[in-house]
């Protein structure tokens, strides 16, 4: 089974660099703000890491939506020894610490993606986001390259000449 990765440093940087600010009552649409990773409050980074760990676990699970998502991502690999195409997730988390909305960028224009809402919406982080934290959180999801043993078909010899069974 392929492993899903949301790299902690990458995810936190994406989270902090790509957040959208709250809508301004005077503005016609949402106010977009970004914060450089080195300027983000420590509480934001710690919360992003907490979300990162939980989302990684949920996406790595045996839930049918998680399995479908991993299959969709796996299909984007150029080769078995390469990572999958990245999938950007945007998560809105309410004051109770529950994920209320998820958006994602398509991984390819002609490729449908698994129902991520069914997998993440309603899940609880356990704590509310820090006060004044910009939302949504942005996470980059990607499958690690398949280990050499997984990329060999059954009955095919590995690099040492041993048959995989």
What tens digit of pLDDT does each residue of 128-149 get? 999 889 888 888 888 887 676 5
Residues of the chain with confidence (pLDDT) below 70: 1-32, 36-37, 107-114, 146, 148-165
Residue 32: predicted pLDDT: 58
Residue 66: predicted pLDDT: 86
93 burial level (CB within 10 Å; 0-12, 13-18, 19+): buried
Residue 1: predicted pLDDT: 52
Residue 34: predicted pLDDT: 72
- Scanning 6-164, the segments in alpha helix (DSSP H) are 8-17, 42-59, 64-74, 116-120, 148-151
The DSSP bridge partners found for residue 30 are 23
CA angle, residues 35, 37, 42, in degrees to nearest 5? 100
Residue 101: predicted pLDDT: 93
> Could you give the CA distance from residue 69 to residue 84 in angstroms, rounded to a whole number?
12
Contact by Cβ (8 Å): 109, 82: no
Residue 137: predicted pLDDT: 87
> Could you give the CA distance from residue 22 to residue 149 in angstroms, rounded to a whole number?
47
Residue 158: predicted pLDDT: 54
Could you tell me which of 55, 50, 163 has the C-alpha nearest to residue 104?
55
Contact by Cβ (8 Å): 16, 45: yes
- Global pTM reads 0.68
């Amino acid at each position: 089974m392929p492993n899903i990765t949301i790299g902690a440093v990458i995810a936190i940087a994406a989270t902090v660099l790509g957040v959208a600010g709250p809508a301004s009552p005077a503005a016609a649409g949402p106010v977009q703000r970004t914060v450089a990773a080195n300027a983000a409050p420590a509480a934001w980074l710690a919360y992003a890491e907490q979300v990162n760990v939980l989302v990684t676990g949920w996406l790595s699970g045996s839930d049918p939506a998680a399995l479908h998502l991993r299959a969709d991502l796996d299909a984007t690999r150029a080769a078995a020894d390469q990572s999958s195409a990245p999938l950007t997730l945007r998560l809105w988390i309410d004051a109770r610490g529950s994920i209320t909305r998820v958006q994602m960028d398509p991984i390819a224009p002609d490729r449908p993606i698994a129902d991520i809402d069914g997998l993440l919406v309603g899940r609880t982080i356990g704590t509310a986001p820090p006060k004044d934290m910009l939302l949504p959180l942005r996470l980059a999801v990607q499958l690690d390259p398949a280990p050499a043993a997984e990329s060999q078909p059954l009955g095919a010899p590995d690099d040492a000449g041993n048959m995989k069974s």
